[in-house]
Amino acid sequence: MKISLRWLNEFVALPCDLQSREALTGLAHDLTMAGVAVENVAGDGGDAVLETDITTNRVDAMNHYGIARECAAIYDLDLPALAPSLPAAQGAHDVAIEITDAAGCARYTARVIRNLTIQASSPEIQRRLQLLGHKSINSAADASNYTLLEMGHPTHAFDLDRLQGGKIVVRRARPGETLKTLDGIDRKLDPEDLVIADAAKPVAIAGVMGGFDSMITSATRNVLIESAWFDPVTVRRTSRRLGMHTDASHRFERGADWGTCPVACDRVAELLLTSGAGELCGSAIDSIARPIDRPTLRLPASEVLRILGLDIPRADIRRILTRLQFGFAQEGDTYVVTVPTWRLDVESNIDLIEEIARIYGYNRFPSTLPTFSGAVNPAPDANQAAKIRATLLALGYNEAISLTFISNADAAAFSRVAAAQVANPINEETPAMRTSLLPGILDMMAWNLNRGVSEARLFECGQIYSSAGPETSEQPAACLAQTWDALLASRDSSERISPADANAATIAFRRFKGDIETLLERFEHATLVYDAAVERAYYHPGRSARAVFNSVTVARFGELHPRLQEERKLKQPVYIAELDLAALYKVAPHQPHYGPISRYPAVERDFSFFFPAEITFQKIRNAAEALGIEHMRSFDLGEIYRGKNIPAGQYSALLRARFQSDQRTLLDDEVKDWSAKITTALQGLGGQQRV
Amino acid sequence: MYTVAKLHDYSAAALQQAADELLHALEEESLAVKGEAQLTLYRNRWLGRKSGILTQVNDEWLKAAPREAKREAGQRVNDLKSAVEARVEAVLAAPAGSATAALAATDRSATAPVDVTLPGSRRPLGAEHPVIRTMNEIVAVFAAMGYSTGSGPEIENDYYNFEALNFPPNHPARDTQDTFLMAGQESLPRRERRLLRTHTSPGQIRIMEKQKPPVRMVVPGKVHRHDTADASHSPMFHQVEGLAVDKNITFCDLKGTLEHAMKALFGSRVRTRFHPSFFPFTEPSADVQISCIICDGSGRRGNEPCRLCKQTGWVELLGCGMVHPAVYGFVDYDPAVVSGFAFGMGVERVALMKYGIDDIQVLFQGDVRFLQQFA
What are A458-491's pLDDT values in tens digits? 999 999 999 999 999 999 999 999 999 999 987 6
Question: Which residue in B167, B282, B365 has the most chain A C-beta atoms within 10 A of its own C-beta, making it the best mutation to test that interface?
Answer: B365
pLDDT at A495 over 70: no
Measure in Å the smallest separation between the Cα of B262 and chain A Cα atoms. Answer: 13
pLDDT above 90: percentage of residues in chain B: 56
pLDDT of residue B22: 82
CB atoms A472 and B196 under 8 Å: no
What type of residue is B274? F
Average pLDDT over residues B256-282: 95
CA B323 to chain centre: 34
CA B216 to chain centre: 26
| N-terminal to C-terminal alpha carbon distance within chain A | 91
Judging contacts by C-beta atoms under 8 Å, the chain A residues touching residue B256 are: 366-370
pLDDT at A276 over 80: no
Q: How far apart are CA A303 and CA A297, in angstroms?
A: 13
Residue A690's CB is within 10 A of a number of other CB atoms, namely 12
A459 contact B CB<8A: yes
Average pLDDT over residues A135-144: 93
Q: How far apart are CA A261 and CA A257, in angstroms?
A: 7
pLDDT of residue B120: 85
pLDDT category at B103 given cuts 50, 70, 90 is low
Of B255, B324, B364, the CB nearest to A365: B255
pLDDT of residue A17: 83
CA B204 to chain centre: 28
CB atoms B126 and A393 under 8 Å: yes
pLDDT above 70: percentage of residues in chain B: 95
What type of residue is A636? D
CB atoms B251 and A308 under 8 Å: yes
Beta carbons within 8 Å of A222's beta carbon, 6+ residues apart: A112, A113, A114, A115, A116, A159, A160, A161
Of A306, A362, A399, the CB nearest to B274: A362
Residue A685 sits at φ, ψ, to 5 deg, of -80, -5
Query: Crossing angle for the helix pair A617-625 and A668-684, nearest 10 degrees?
Result: 140
Q: How far apart are CA B18 and CA A609, in angstroms?
A: 23
Cα-based distances in Å from B349 to A53, A497, B133, B346, B356:
20, 43, 13, 6, 10
Measure in Å the smallest separation between the Cα of A359 and chain B Cα atoms. Answer: 9
Strand order in the sheet with A650-659: A632-641, A650-659, A603-612, A688-689
CB atoms B184 and A470 under 8 Å: yes
Cα-based distances in Å from A623 to A109, A529, A609, A615:
98, 17, 14, 11
Residue A656's CB is within 10 A of a number of other CB atoms, namely 15
CB atoms B11 and A608 under 8 Å: yes
pLDDT of residue B76: 80
Beta carbons within 8 Å of B327's beta carbon, 6+ residues apart: B164, B165, B166, B204, B205, B208, B281
Measure in Å the smallest separation between the Cα of A670 and chain B Cα atoms. Answer: 12
pLDDT at B106 over 80: no
Residue B106 sits at φ, ψ, to 5 deg, of -60, -45
Q: What is chain A's mean pLDDT, rounded? A: 94
Q: How far apart are CA A291 and CA B272, in angstroms?
A: 44
Q: How far apart are CA B350 and CA B317, in angstroms?
A: 7
Residue count of chain A, please give it: 691
Judging contacts by C-beta atoms under 8 Å, the chain B residues touching residue A397 are: 126
DSSP state of A641: E
Of A376, A397, A469, the CB nearest to B126: A397
Beta carbons within 8 Å of B368's beta carbon, 6+ residues apart: A398, A448, A453, A455, A456, A457, A458
The answer to whether A388 and A519 have CB atoms below 8 angstroms apart is yes
Of B148, B153, B275, the CB nearest to A474: B153
CB atoms B11 and A57 under 8 Å: no
CB atoms A467 and B255 under 8 Å: no
Question: Which residue in A297, A365, A373, A398 has the most chain B C-beta atoms within 10 A of its own C-beta, making it the best mutation to test that interface?
Answer: A398
CA B238 to chain centre: 19
pLDDT above 70: percentage of residues in chain A: 99
Give ipTM to 2 decimals.
0.90
pLDDT at B29 over 90: no
Three-class SS state of A113 = strand
Pairing of strands A194-197, A223-230: unpaired
CB atoms B129 and A399 under 8 Å: yes
Residue A304 sits at φ, ψ, to 5 deg, of -60, -45
Three-class SS state of B99 = helix
Of B175, B188, B364, the CB nearest to A401: B364
Q: How far apart are CA B247 and CA B335, in angstroms?
A: 10
Judging contacts by C-beta atoms under 8 Å, the chain B residues touching residue A606 are: 9, 11, 13-14
CA A371 to chain centre: 33
pLDDT of residue B214: 94
Q: How many CB pairs under 8 A join A and B?
A: 265
Average pLDDT over residues B83-94: 80
* Beta bridge mates, A641: A652
The answer to whether A441 and A402 have CB atoms below 8 angstroms apart is yes
What stretch of H or E contains B297? none
Measure in Å the smallest separation between the Cα of A290 and chain B Cα atoms. Answer: 22
pLDDT category at B78 given cuts 50, 70, 90 is confident
Question: Which residue in A231, A401, A493, A603 has the most chain B C-beta atoms within 10 A of its own C-beta, making it the best mutation to test that interface?
Answer: A401
Q: pLDDT tens digit string along A189-217?
A: 999 999 999 999 999 999 999 999 999 99
Of A310, A399, A423, the CB nearest to B126: A399
Measure in Å the smallest separation between the Cα of B237 and chain A Cα atoms. Answer: 9
- Cis preceding-peptide flag for B214 (omega within 30 of 0): yes
Three-class SS state of B255 = helix
CA A206 to chain centre: 32
Question: Which residue in B60, B121, B155 has the most chain A C-beta atoms within 10 A of its own C-beta, making it the best mutation to test that interface?
Answer: B155
Measure in Å the smallest separation between the Cα of B44 and chain A Cα atoms. Answer: 30
Cα-based distances in Å from B99 to A266, B86, B93, B105, B106:
116, 19, 11, 10, 11
Measure in Å the smallest separation between the Cα of B92 and chain A Cα atoms. Answer: 34
The answer to whether A199 and A131 have CB atoms below 8 angstroms apart is no
Q: How far apart are CA B159 and CA A585, in angstroms?
A: 28
Judging contacts by C-beta atoms under 8 Å, the chain A residues touching residue B149 are: 377-379, 382
Among chain A residues, the shortest Cα distance to B260 is held by A369
Judging contacts by C-beta atoms under 8 Å, the chain B residues touching residue A445 are: 366
CB atoms B369 and A443 under 8 Å: no
Q: How far apart are CA A570 and CA A563, in angstroms?
A: 10
The answer to whether A553 and A547 have CB atoms below 8 angstroms apart is yes
Instruction: Calculate the dihedral angle through the C-alpha atoms of A431, A432, A436, A441, rounding to the nearest 10 degrees.
Output: 10
pLDDT category at A622 given cuts 50, 70, 90 is very high
CB atoms B369 and A453 under 8 Å: yes
CB atoms A372 and B375 under 8 Å: no
A398 contact B CB<8A: yes
pLDDT category at B84 given cuts 50, 70, 90 is confident
Measure in Å the smallest separation between the Cα of B268 and chain A Cα atoms. Answer: 15
A314-317 long-range Cβ contacts below 8 angstroms, 24+ apart: A316/A356, A316/A360, A317/A356
Q: How far apart are CA B200 and CA B127, in angstroms?
A: 26
CB atoms B13 and A606 under 8 Å: yes
Q: pLDDT tens digit string along A31-58?
A: 999 999 999 998 876 789 999 999 989 9
A511 contact B CB<8A: no
| N-terminal to C-terminal alpha carbon distance within chain B | 51
CB atoms B368 and A458 under 8 Å: yes
Judging contacts by C-beta atoms under 8 Å, the chain B residues touching residue A460 are: 366
CB atoms A362 and B276 under 8 Å: yes
Q: pLDDT tens digit string along A422-462?
A: 999 999 999 999 999 999 999 999 999 999 999 999 999 99
CB atoms B252 and A310 under 8 Å: yes
Q: How far apart are CA B150 and CA A379, in angstroms?
A: 5
Measure in Å the smallest separation between the Cα of A76 and chain B Cα atoms. Answer: 19
SS3 content of chain B, % helix, strand, coil (to 5): 45, 20, 35
Residue A557 sits at φ, ψ, to 5 deg, of -160, 160
Question: Would you call A647 exposed, middle or buried from its count of C-beta atoms within 10 A (0-12, 13-18, 19+)?
Answer: exposed
pLDDT at B99 over 60: no
Q: Which of A168, A203, A199 is nearest to A286 (CA)?
A: A168
CA-CA-CA-CA torsion sign (A662, A667, A673, A675):
positive
